[in-house]
Amino acid sequence: MLRNTFCHVPGIGSKSEHKLWAKGILCWDDVMKDGFLESSGQNHHFLKRRIEESQCHLAEGNPNYFAESLPVNLQWRLFRDFRNTTAYLDIETTGTAGQEDSITTIAVYDGSSIFYYVQGDNLHKFKEDIRRYNVLVTYNGRCFDIPFIQNYLRIKMNQAHIDLRFVLRSLGYTGGLKGCEKQMGLDREDLNGIDGYSAVLLWNDFRTNRNRKALETLLAYNILDAVNLEHLMVMAYNLKLRGTPFAETHSLPVPTPVKNPFKPHRETVDKINNFRWDYAQ
């Protein structure tokens, strides 16, 4: 889809892009054809120069060139061309107020492998590992996950970023990550009913009682959040294509579910649910 995109060119918005498509200028190659500049004005010369520049950046594997020019709700167009260097990321925190809040776990999935990082264990390795990727996919990461990581770990994350919160909202899906998953037919199975507050309680149980099952349950939850982002990304990508002439040719197959290395521990889940119920009373 990126090679069919013109909205990253200054002066071209969605309406202008659709006019180009309607005229048969469907991709960058059409701009580069010999006849494109015949009887054309200065704007067409400018467009051709920007497309030449775009081709160079795509060949060099530089998604930031496009991410810096595309509106937030069009960042999804980066996905197909940079999928092999994309990481799906989600964090959990202690949930305390202000500067006392800290990262407990981070889950990263790259479409084939799962990586997880735990406070007090291997969290420091995240800094180096995340540099392998050029694009990050999150849900609400623009407002929460990415700034939190940068501040807490004191690192700069310069990757292009597709925040599914904005993409899905433009498609009419709201209600947080779990709400969007449910609306789009994803079943969390044994992890149904576990949410962000549960994640805080699970971490507290692990740190206070050394309950390893609580940590495993927390990691199962965190990892599922990251893994499901790929599924949501592909579904959103295909849905967004319906507003273009390329739905029949550019759609992607829904990814096969990956096996979560951790499973929730039912007794531990019941214990934290009972705590929540007693606290609410």
Name the residue ranges covered by the structural domains of the chain.
2-60, 83-280
pLDDT of residue 115: 98
Residue 2 has pLDDT above 70, yes or no: yes
- Mean per-residue pLDDT, 252-266: 94
Count, residues in the chain: 281
Strands 160-163 and 103-109: unpaired
43: pLDDT confidence band, cut at 50, 70 and 90? confident
Look up the pTM and report it. Answer: 0.93
Quick one: fold of 83-280? Nucleotidyltransferase; domain 5 (3.30.420)
pLDDT above 90 covers a percentage of the chain that reads 84
pLDDT of residue 42: 52
How far is 180 from 152, CA to CA, in rounded Å?
28
Residue 98 has pLDDT above 80, yes or no: no
Exposed / middle / buried, residue 116 (Cβ in 10 Å: 0-12, 13-18, 19+): buried
Exposed / middle / buried, residue 215 (Cβ in 10 Å: 0-12, 13-18, 19+): buried
Residue 280 has pLDDT above 50, yes or no: no
Residue 237 has pLDDT above 70, yes or no: yes
Residue 276 has pLDDT above 80, yes or no: no
CB–CB of 225/90 below 8 Å?
yes
